[in-house]
Structure 1
Amino acid sequence: MKSITIQGEKRENVGKSSTRALRDAEQVPCVVYGNGESIHFSTALSSFKNLVYTPEAHTVVIKWSDGGKTEAVLQDVQFHPVSDLILHADFCPLQPEKPVIMEIPVKVLGRSIGVSQGGVLRLTFRKLKVKTLPENLPDNIEINITSLAIGARISVKDLSTDKYSIEHPKDTVIVAVKASRAAVKSVQNDVKGKDDKKAK
């Protein structure tokens, strides 16, 4: 998986006034949780452009002003309810022997038979939470939909791999092909036409 580097400035003062000053300066208050400690820091709001506002998934290298660095994954982001600006972000450090949970984008492959027949493809989840060791984090979860007919679906239970587990209920539907309104109406008209002929 690709990694993005951001600059982190460790914080000692985590009070409300300090936090407000950071946001006014277009800095985001953040925390790295793990290893029995919490590191409070700030980073530029622009650092999240390729982390949050993107369909791709990345790990993060936080470079500290003292020359050190921490490899991590973004765990949670808090947004302002009105402006939608990022207010706070939580990170989890990566450790080779410790599984991590991360949202991975779904990549659909192929063209569904059902879509070719007039059906509509419904992608319920664009990202799925997976749990695995850092070395096994995939760039995306590929789902081949070529054989999906109208009314067919692919659920979590249909995706099997020994490299990671998907942290959703087994019956969670990820993608399905639904009958379009036009197709349903066409079938209804055909049935009505046959009934009318029988009545005559």
Structure 2
Amino acid sequence: MKTFQLEGTPRTDLGKKAVKALRKQNLIPAVLNGGQLVTLPYDNALKAGEKVVEIANNQALIVTDFTVSTESVRKLVYTPEIFAIDLTIGDKKTKAVIKDIQFHPVTDAILHMDFLEVNEQKPIIMEVPVALEGHSEGVKAGGKLSLEMRKLKVKAIYSQIPEKLVINIDNLGLGKTIQVGELHFEGLELMNAKNAVVCAVKLTRAARGLQAKSGK
């Protein structure tokens, strides 16, 4: 997985007015989740932007609110590629991935970004692009190749997640499909339904005619 350098600024004013003012400055409110797990009550000093969020049984996570500029994330967001992010927030440096992005329903502007802190011990779930390689038998016979799932959800340590999932289609025949349950990638657990169709070679009118003439 490629690495992306990103700098953010800690954010302490979390009100609606503050968010509106940030967006006027082409700044995007963001939050870093998945940080340090602590026991409540937590009396240690927090850094700028950090807050303690209770999860259950007096356990809490330290999450960080911050901002990033629209320009700084453009190449991170508007791309089919996935990245491990070297994220700097004030004097805090960590590894992260994008967890979620909220877009404006009309303008498509980025309203909010959620990042997930990662490490070499805890697996994460990410969507990874699918790439087909080879020359399908079904396409040679007149069929039409259809990619039904452009991304698959995988679970793994972040450093083991590839930039794309390559699937060979040489043996994919006319009218046949490749389902999630047929796939295997070393070190990755696929989280989609096993019967979900990833790609297929569909019958075209020309292919049906050839089949009828050949009697198959």
For 1:89, which of 71, 91, 113 is the aligned residue?
A: 113
Q: Does 1:27 align with 2:51?
A: no
Aligned residue runs from structure 1 range 46-125, under 5 A: 46-66=71-91, 68-125=92-149
Percent identity between matched residues is 40
Aligned residue runs from structure 1 range 1-200, under 5 A: 1-35=1-35, 36-66=61-91, 68-184=92-208, 186=209
TM-score computed with the length of structure 2 as normaliser? 0.82
**1:111-142 CA deviation, whole Å, 9 max, x = no partner?**
11111221111101111111101221112111
Deviation at 1:46, TM superposition (A): 2.0
**1:18-59 CA deviation, whole Å, 9 max, x = no partner?**
111111111111111113111111101123322221111111
Report SS of the residue matched to 2:71: helix
Asked whether the 8 Å contact 2:6–2:87 carries over to 1, the reply is yes
Counterpart Cα distance in 2 of 1:166 and 1:7: 32
Aligned partner letter, 1:22? L
Report SS of the residue matched to 1:129: strand
Number of paired residues? 190
Gaps of 5+ in 1: 195-200
Report SS of the residue matched to 1:183: helix
Counterpart Cα distance in 2 of 1:86 and 1:21: 14
Aligned partner letter, 2:122? K
RMSD: 1.9
Gaps of 5+ in 2: 36-60
